[in-house]
Amino acid sequence: MTDDTTPMTDGGTDEEARTDGGPPATVPPDDETPTWSERKERSQGLAQLTYQYFERSRREDEDLRTESTYVERDVLGFPTWPHETIRNLAITSFFLGIMLLVASIMPGHFGDPANPGSTPAIILPDWYLYWSFGLLKLDPINPDLAVLGGNIVMSNELLGLIAHGAIFGVITLVPFLNKGNARRPVEEPGWAALGVAGVILAITLAVLAIQNFFPVPLELLFSLVFMLPVAGGVITYAVLKTMREGYMYDLNRRYYMLRPPK
């Protein structure tokens, strides 16, 4: 037992009890360690910048590691065998079973052969593309210009395509617009409301695609397609805000129970 035993986070100092096998096995960048640029002379251009960055970032890691009082220990985890394996097997067989069951009781029907000469009354893709199909029926909001004598600026197909692009674009940008480390919807009611509105919009657009099956005037249906998502978003926002107040109330109550106001 050496004298310079550092205390461990659990309070003990017993070297035998160290579960991490001692200090980190990585070599600190002292004088004897060749730097990235020494390993291979890279003196110009992007290669040099890359290796300069690697040096910096390794330095940063090392500094963080030396400053830290954190002692690495065995991870308290969920064992792969048998817990995780059995759980996964159970989930997998359950899900496979459901799929086979559904496939056997609802085999689906098979339509007529293709006939390029006769357009069917109802053209529909599978259900998961209904929202996309709905986006092609946006012609009532296709902008027209007085200069063009009330002619539309772009074809309805192009409008639909642009709508698709906008939706995929917004979804792609989400991680760059919403930063921070909040995870729960209550922490960010606005973003949760946006999500709920998006889900409802997907559903209402799907309904728009199969409008023929709904005995609602087209005008009303079209308004609902856009009003319902907004309504859903507002309700979500209100509910989450209220929940947040509730949490704050609980916290405050506990606080004042511990420290009653004088």
Q: Which residues bind other proteins (CB under 8 A)?
A: 76-79, 81-83, 88, 91-92, 95-96, 98-100, 102-104, 106-108, 110-120, 123-129, 132-133, 136, 155, 157-158, 160-161, 168, 171-172, 174-176, 178-185, 187-188, 191-192, 195, 199
Looking at the Cβ atoms of 20 and 157, the one nearer to other proteins is 157
Min separation Cβ 179 and other proteins, Å: 7
Among candidate residues 68, 65, 66, 38, the one with its CA nearest the CA of residue 54: 38
Nearest by Cα to 229 from 244, 251, 207: 207
* Minimum distance, C-beta of residue 20 to other proteins, in the bound complex (Å): 18
Pairs from 37-46 (Cβ < 8 Å, separation ≥ 24): none
Half-sphere exposure of 102 (CA within 13 A, CB side): 5
The smaller minimum CB distance to other proteins, of residues 54 and 247, is found at: 247
Pick between residue 111 and residue 217 the one whose CB is nearest to other proteins: 111
**CB distance 124 to 133 below 8 Å:** yes
Q: Output the smallest distance, CB 1 to other proteins, in A.
A: 30
Q: How far is the CB of 34 from other proteins (least distance, A)?
A: 27
Burial of 240 from C-beta contacts in 10 A (0-12 / 13-18 / 19+): buried
d(CA 192, CA 239): 11
Report the residue number, 49 or 96, with the smaller CB distance to other proteins: 96
* Least Cβ distance, residue 104 to other proteins (angstroms): 6
Query: Which residue, 120 or 215, is less far from other proteins as judged by CB?
Result: 120
Give the CA distances from residue 173 to residues 158, 198, 253, in Å, rounded to whole numbers and listed in that order: 22, 14, 40
